[in-house]
C-alpha cells in the first residue's frame, strides 16, 4: 500500500511547555492566570513529563521511534536575565543522554512560543533591541547541550506566534495589531538568521558538525471561488502576510512586503534542512481563516487536506533545495477514531511526492497542553489521563509502531488500522 524509502524515518515531536509541567514564570503560566485557557487547564500540570520522562522515553523506544524533536524551557533555564539554573540544565542533559541511550536521535528546538516573563516585560520579540538577548540564550543552549545535540530548530512557527499573539490576541501577550504582528515576524526572521550563523560559528570553532533550520508553519491557501477576483486577491495577500514573506526572509534573507529588514542580516541561505509544520488548508473569501464547505474536519474544525503537505513542501523546496523534515503533522482527534486514516493519507502524500522528505515527526507523542485549548484537544499517539498521568498507547500509536517496524503500510495493516475510519464533515 505504502512503502517508505530506506532513509525515511518516523518520529515524534513535542514542546517543553506543552508536556513538562512545573510552575515556571513564563508567558503561558501568566496567560493561564489571566483566564486565557479555554478549559481552565493549568500548564503547570500538562503531561508532567518532568516526572514521567523515563517512562515516556522508554515508551518511545518500545514503539521503535528513532528520532525525537523536543524543546527546552527558556524560563526554566534562565529564570532571571543572565542568571541560569544549573540544576535545570543538568536535568535536560540527563534527559538527552537517556534519549540517546535508547537509540533515539534528538532534534532540539530552542524557542517554542514561550517567553520568560522578564523577557516579555522588556518587549519580547516586538523589540529589535531584544535580538541579542535571544541570541544569548541560543549561545547558552548550544554551549550546554552541544556535545549531545547536533541538530537545532532556532524558532518554532514565528508566523503563528506573531498572528496569534499580536494580531488575533488569542496567545500571549494578547495584542491586536496587524502592524505589530508584522513587526514581530520581521524581528523573529532576523533572530533566526543570526541564530543560524551563531550556531554554525560556535560549533565550527569546536570542530562539531551541525544542521540548523526553523520550524515553519505553512498551509495551503485557496480561493473559495477561483473565478472571483476578490477571493483570488485575498488569497494572495493572506498567503503573503501569513507565510510567504516569512519563508523568503528566514530561508534566503530576502525581506519582501510586508516585512522589513532589521538587524545585521543579509541575503544568503539560512537552512540546512526544510522544517515544515503542516496541518490544514485555508479557504479564502476575505482576509482571515475560512473552511471549505463540506470538507472533512478534525475536532477543532480544521480542514483535513492531505495533499497540502506535499504542495507546501514543494514550495519550500523550490525556494531552497534542501532535505525536508516534516517537523509537525498531526490532528485533534479526541476519541482516536480517524487518526490512523489521517496518518495514512498524509504519509501516502509525502511518499508519493517525489521530494527528498527524510523525516516525519508526528505531533505529538503524548496528549499535551494544547495552548489556549488546554487539555481539551488531544493530538497524541499516547493517551494521557491527566488526573493520574497514566499513559496508554492508542490504536493510532499501535499503527505508528507497526509502520516503523514494517517500514510502510501493508494491505493487512491497512485493513486492521485504516479501513472503516472516516473523517467528520
The SS3 of residue 8 is coil
CB 149 within 8 A of CB 105: no
Q: What are the residues whose beta carbons fall under 8 Å from the beta carbon of 142, sequence distance 6 or more?
A: 152, 198, 199, 202, 203
> Average pLDDT of the chain?
97
Residue 126, burial from CB neighbour count under 10 angstroms (0-12, 13-18, 19+): buried
Greatest CA separation for the chain: 60
pLDDT band with cut points at 50, 70 and 90 for residue 64: very high
**Region of 77 on the Ramachandran plot (φ > 0 left; ψ -120 to 50 alpha; else beta):** alpha
CB 292 within 8 A of CB 308: no
DSSP 8-state symbol, 297: B
State the average pLDDT over residues 230-242.
97
Q: Which three cell numbers stand for residue 147?
A: 556535545
CB 372 within 8 A of CB 43: no
**pLDDT score, position 344:** 98
Half-sphere exposure of 207 (CA within 13 A, CB side): 0
Cell 570542530, located at residue: 207
pLDDT band with cut points at 50, 70 and 90 for residue 339: very high
Top-level CATH class of 2-418?
alpha beta
Please list the residues that pair with 382 across neighbouring strands. 366, 393
**pLDDT tens profile 350-376:** 999 999 999 999 999 999 999 999 999
pLDDT for residue 249 is more than 90: yes
Q: Which three cell numbers stand for residue 413?
A: 495493516
**pLDDT score, position 1:** 83
**pLDDT score, position 69:** 99
**pLDDT tens profile 140-195:** 999 999 999 999 999 999 999 999 999 999 999 999 999 999 999 999 999 999 99
State the average pLDDT over residues 217-238.
97
**pLDDT score, position 279:** 98
**pLDDT score, position 362:** 98
CA distance 359 to 285: 34
Query: In terms of DSSP bridges, do strands 2-3 and 408-409 run parallel, antiparallel, or are they unpaired?
Result: antiparallel
Instruction: Give Cα 319 to chain centroid, integer Å.
Output: 21
CA distance 369 to 62: 24
pLDDT band with cut points at 50, 70 and 90 for residue 288: confident
Cell 514564570, located at residue: 25
Reduce the secondary structure of 137-195 to three states and give it as a string.
Answer: HHHHHHHHHCCCCCEEEEEECHHHHHHHHHCCCCCCCCCCCHHHHHHHHHHHHHHHHHH
State the average pLDDT over residues 128-138.
98
**pLDDT tens profile 380-421:** 999 999 999 999 999 999 999 999 999 999 999 999 999 999
Q: How far is CA 126 from CA 9, 123, 270, in A?
A: 37, 6, 22
pLDDT for residue 287 is more than 90: no
pTM confidence score: 0.98
pLDDT for residue 319 is more than 90: yes
pLDDT for residue 264 is more than 90: no
Q: What are the residues whose beta carbons fall under 8 Å from the beta carbon of 217, sequence distance 6 or more?
A: 157, 159, 160, 243, 277, 278, 279, 328
pLDDT band with cut points at 50, 70 and 90 for residue 40: very high
Cell 523536543, located at residue: 70
Amino acid at each position: 500500500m505504502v512503502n517508505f524509502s530506506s532513509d525515511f524515518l518516523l518520529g515524534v515531536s513535542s514542546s517543553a511547555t506543552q508536556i513538562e509541567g512545573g510552575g515556571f514564570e513564563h508567558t503561558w503560566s501568566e496567560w493561564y492566570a489571566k483566564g486565557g485557557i479555554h478549559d481552565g487547564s493549568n500548564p503547570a500540570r500538562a503531561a508532567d513529563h518532568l516526572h514521567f520522562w523515563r517512562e515516556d522515553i522508554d515508551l518511545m523506544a518500545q514503539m521503535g521511534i528513532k528520532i525525537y524533536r523536543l524543546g527546552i524551557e527558556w524560563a526554566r533555564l534562565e529564570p532571571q536575565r543572565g542568571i541560569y539554573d544549573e540544576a535545570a540544565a543538568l536535568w535536560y542533559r540527563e534527559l538527552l543522554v537517556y534519549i540517546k541511550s535508547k537509540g533515539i536521535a534528538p532534534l532540539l528546538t530552542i524557542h517554542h512560543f514561550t517567553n520568560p516573563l522578564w523577557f516579555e516585560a522588556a518587549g519580547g520579540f516586538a523589540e529589535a533591541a531584544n535580538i541579542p538577548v535571544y541570541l544569548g540564550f541560543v549561545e547558552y543552549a548550544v554551549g550546554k547541550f552541544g556535545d549531545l545535540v547536533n541538530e537545532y530548530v532556532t524558532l518554532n512557527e514565528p508566523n503563528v506566534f506573531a498572528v496569534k499573539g499580536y494580531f488575533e490576541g488569542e496567545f500571549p501577550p494578547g495584542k491586536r495589531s496587524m502592524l505589530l504582528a508584522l513587526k514581530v515576524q520581521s524581528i523573529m526572521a532576523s533572530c533566526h538568521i543570526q541564530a543560524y550563523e551563531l550556531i554554525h560559528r560556535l560549533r565550527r570553532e569546536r570542530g562539531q558538525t551541525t544542521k540548523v533550520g526553523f520550524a515553519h508553519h505553512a498551509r495551503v491557501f485557496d480561493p473559495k471561488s477561483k473565478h472571483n477576483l476578490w477571493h483570488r486577491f485575498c488569497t494572495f495577500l493572506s498567503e503573503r502576510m501569513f507565510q510567504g514573506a516569512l519563508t523568503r526572509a528566514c530561508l534566503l534573507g530576502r525581506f519582501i512586503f510586508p516585512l522589513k529588514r532589521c538587524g545585521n542580516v543579509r541575503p544568503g541561505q539560512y537552512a540546512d534542512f526544510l522544517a515544515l509544520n503542516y496541518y490544514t488548508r485555508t479557504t479564502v473569501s476575505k482576509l482571515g481563516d475560512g473552511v471549505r464547505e463540506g470538507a472533512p474536519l478534525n475536532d477543532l474544525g480544521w480542514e483535513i487536506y492531505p495533499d497540502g503537505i506535499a504542495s507546501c513542501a514543494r514550495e519550500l523546496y523550490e525556494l531552497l533545495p534542501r532535505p525536508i523534515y516534516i517537523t509537525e503533522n498531526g490532528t485533534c482527534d479526541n476519541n482516536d477514531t480517524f487518526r490512523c486514516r489521517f496518518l495514512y493519507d498524509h504519509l501516502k502524500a509525502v511518499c508519493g511526492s517525489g521530494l527528498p522528505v527524510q523525516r516525519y515527526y508526528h505531533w505529538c507523542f503524548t496528549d499535551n497542553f494544547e495552548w489556549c485549548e488546554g487539555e481539551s484537544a488531544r493530538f497524541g499517539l499516547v493517551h494521557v489521563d491527566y488526573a493520574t498521568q497514566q499513559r496508554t498507547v492508542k490504536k493510532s500509536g499501535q499503527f505508528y509502531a507497526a509502520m516503523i517496524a514494517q517500514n510502510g503500510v501493508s494491505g493487512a495493516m491497512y485493513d486492521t488500522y485504516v479501513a472503516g475510519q472516516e473523517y467528520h464533515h
